[in-house]
Chain A
Amino acid sequence: ILNVEQSPQSLHVQEGDSTNFTCSFPSSNFYALHWYRWETAKSPEALFVMTLNGDEKKKGRISATLNTKEGYSYLYIKGSQPEDSATYLCAYYFGNEKLTFGTGTRLTIIP
């Protein structure tokens, strides 16, 4: 994989359900993988920066895992709430002061 790919593109989840989505990235020469949340009419906000294979990070009901050997990261949201509705972006740091973003997963929580 030469690019950063996210799946699915969009997701509708019932309030209270848990969900997860995927970011795939090149598995060679790994440096760092970022996750951002972008709510409508706001700026993207950093969730996690992951640097080590096997990393697992958590912020409230949101957590992320990282597998650098196979080139993927999962973002999990437990017990979805309406305020979780946003686009979730991952970004791969290739080195050289450049972040490459995926096209995002748009999450809509249905009350």
Chain B
Amino acid sequence: KAGVTQTPRYLIKTRGQQVTLSCSPISGHRSVSWYQQTPGQGLQFLFEYFSETQRNKGNFPGRFSGRQFSNSRSEMNVSTLELGDSALYLCASSHSSTFYEQYFGPGTRLTVT
């Protein structure tokens, strides 16, 4: 079974731009979660989607948004980028719930200059 894939792997953007990151979960997994990791911080929960519905959202500004498609693929979007948005963004999938073990993708490293 193919693992979780994320594209792109690396991205450099300038302040004020917007960015879209993509995540393809393991086949059959319908729950997709997104996390942000910055130096010195643990993985910070962004949001979770199941069957195209956002079931929970972390404590991030409205510039961070996401969606999930009918094939369970998910995208997250960050608008009006700030320097502090530079981070590793990880997505994780599971069959149906974040109660169960999460399978993580390789991440997208975003640098904002």
Contacts and interface: CB of A to CB of B under 8 A. Distances in A.
Interface string B79-113: 00000000000101000011111111111000000
Nearest to A32: B99
Interface size classification for chain B: 20 to 34
Given A97-B48, A98-B58, A103 B99 contact: no
Contacts, number: 62
Interface residues of A, number: 23
Looking at chain B's contact residues, the main secondary structure is loop
Given A43-B90, A96-B56, A97-B97, A89 B43 contact: yes
A89 B37 CA distance: 13
A103 B4 CA distance: 23
Contact of A43 (B31, B33, B48, B105): B105
Contacts of B105: 43
Interface of B: 3-4, 31, 33, 35, 40-45, 48, 50, 55-56, 58, 90, 92, 97-107
